[in-house]
Structure 1
Amino acid sequence: MPRTNEPGRSVSSRLLDLLFTFQPGESELSLAELARKTGLPHATARRLVLELTKAGALERRPDGRFAVGLRLWRLGTLAPLTESLRTMAQPFMEDLYAALHQHVQLAVLEGDEAVIIERLSGRRALGLVSQVGGRLPLHCSGVGKVLLGHAGPELSDRVLGGELRRYTPRTVTDADALRRELADCRRTGSALVRGELTHEADSIATRIMNGEGRVVASLSVVVRAGSVQPQSILPSVITSGLGISRMLGWRPGIRVREG
């Protein structure tokens, strides 16, 4: 449900509502769509959108629709966790891509979903459901299971206690079976997911830890089912994850923590 124009809401909260309306798959929106999605009166939405456009936070496309502006995009790249992760992970991701020519992606936890913050993809790689900035479910994606397995009991209880969407016939939706998988993720630091989110796609994922031993991200390679043996890729993916973890201050003697 969109938020309404209730009294007492600040101008800043309305501006943020407009900005956060933009999502992967909805990167360009008309003024009417912005007003409808936020619940703001058309005149209010128009005034605030024009202010955001003047400031460079939004830009107006030739067809009259609006998109995230360059100044806002540049601000987003300064987020310390994602920027440092992307920078440190890039050489390892490039090596995996050079060796496999498959999708290599880096994701972090946000709320009850995994968010892809970087991806390298070959032209002939399998088509996937999400791009950089997109979100993946935690219960049936490789990066998602790794992040969920290390996020602590509060999040896992909430996710597994809710509705678990079945994306393909192979999606695991039994909470007890998922708890066993998450326990394996914590024990091995990795996850193998076969055709649960996308037909014919296998994901090989591993954890990335910081200097305190907390899992802050997950790295994965996504391949077409049957093109390679996932177990043959797993050592390279784990090694890359450990290399990135070392860049973040982790060392073998540091215990991996949950939450």
Structure 2
Amino acid sequence: MSTPLNGSILKAFSILRLITKERPDISAKTVASELGMTHATAHRLLLSLEEAGAVVTYRRGSFSLGPVMEELGSVAKASNRIAARISPLIEELALGLNESVMVSRLGRSGPTCIAVAASSRSISVNISVGTVLPMASSAQGKLWLAGMESAQRAQWLQDGQTSESLDLDQIETCGYACNRGENEPDIGALSVPVKSASGEIVFTLSTFGMLHRFDDPMVVRSLPVLLAMAERIKALLVRA
């Protein structure tokens, strides 16, 4: 049985995400309207966030991000050194393949993008850092599933999904996975694992773009390049 989540904490972070560059201040009315809660609940949560230093108010009823969030942001940037070191490598790869490239790790809800390099094509596909991909219909998710034991796989698979229907054994044997429109129509992807020195998958390295470009010849051309870059990223992890 999974551990129950704290609803108040999730609501608090939903409130914080309402504050953006375009809208640096929010009110209880804004929170209540956009998150579907009562004005009293929104006001109570905002005051709690203010007490914690997560938000600050400079005029009555208006809240913006507080000093604690700035401090945490600085810590996050400092601790995300691996992603910063990976970025130049995947930019090089995106330039060489002429397609967008991303690195993901396995999060609580699925493969999560930690670094991305956009293609220079006039028409290309992009994704934001922090985006979570589905397990069974993404090339990245299939790789993670292929590397799992049966019991762990079962926790991720939904009704009707099996190792056989997803070709997970073949993916594990081949060492790569493809997505040809299963996740989003007209978008394809090719993904390889980045493994630790002990052989465990740490990240997935993927190239993605318009589906019509991701045919078999493209996979044949791109796979050795992706695998070579995965080894370079692995070397970074060893030195980190």
TM range, smaller chain: 0.7 to 0.9
| CA gap 1:91/1:188 in 2 versus in 1, 3 angstroms | farther
What TM-score do the two structures reach when normalised by structure 1? 0.68
Q: Given that residues 181 and 188 in structure 2 are in contact (C-alpha distance below 8 angstroms), is that contact kept between their aligned partners in structure 1?
A: yes
* Counterparts in 2 of 1:134 and 1:67: CA distance versus 1, 3 Å: farther
2:231 aligned residue (242, 254, 257): 242
Does 183-192 or 138-147 show the bigger shift? 183-192
The structure in which a higher percent of residues are helix is 2
Question: TM-score scaled by structure 2?
Answer: 0.73
Determine the structure 1 residue equivalent to 2:23. none
Q: Deviations over 1:74-101 (max 9, x none)?
A: 344455xxx2431332232011112133
1:190–1:238 Cα contact (<8 Å) kept: no
Partner of 1:88: 85
Q: CA deviation at 1:31?
A: 1.7
Pairwise CA distance, 1:23: 9.8
1:147-197 Cα deviation digits (max 9, x unpaired): 22223323311222x246xxxxxxxx565221xx22223223211221111
Task: Name the aligned partner's letter for residue 234 of structure 1.
Answer: L
Specify the alignment match of 1:110 in structure 2.
107
Alignment of 1:138 with 2:126, yes or no, is no
Could you tell me which residue of structure 1 aligns to residue 116 of structure 2?
119
Q: CA deviation at 1:205?
A: 0.5
Residue 17 of structure 1 is matched in structure 2 by 10
Work out whether residues 114 and 130 of structure 2, in 8 Å CA contact, stay in contact via their aligned partners in 1: yes
For structure 1, list consecutive stretches of 5 or more residues without a partner in the other structure: 1-8, 165-172, 251-259
Aligned to 1:31: 31
SS state at 2:205 partner: strand
Instruction: Percent identity, please.
Output: 21
SS at match of 2:165: helix
User: Where do residues 103-252 of structure 1 align in structure 2 (5 Å cutoff)?
Assistant: 103-122=100-119, 124-127=122-125, 130-160=127-157, 162-163=158-159, 175-178=163-166, 181-227=167-213, 229-249=218-238
Give 1:57's aligned residue.
54
Q: What's the CA shift for 1:240?
A: 0.8
The whole-number CA distance in structure 1 between the counterparts of 2:186 and 2:16 is 26
Q: Which amino acid aligns with 2:73?
A: W
Cα distance change, pair 59–216 in 1 and its aligned pair in 2 (3 A): farther
1:99 paired with 2:96, answer yes
Give the secondary-structure state (helix, strand or coil) at the position aligned to 2:190: strand
Alignment length, in residue pairs? Answer: 218
Equivalent position SS for 1:177: coil
Shift of 1:245: 1.3
Cα separation, partners in 2 of 1:42 and 1:22, compared to 1, 3 Å: closer
User: C-alpha displacement at 1:137, in angstroms?
Assistant: 0.3
Q: Using a 3 Å threshold, how does the CA distance of structure 1 residues 184 and 246 change in structure 2: closer, same or farther?
A: farther
C-alpha RMSD of matched pairs (Å): 3.5
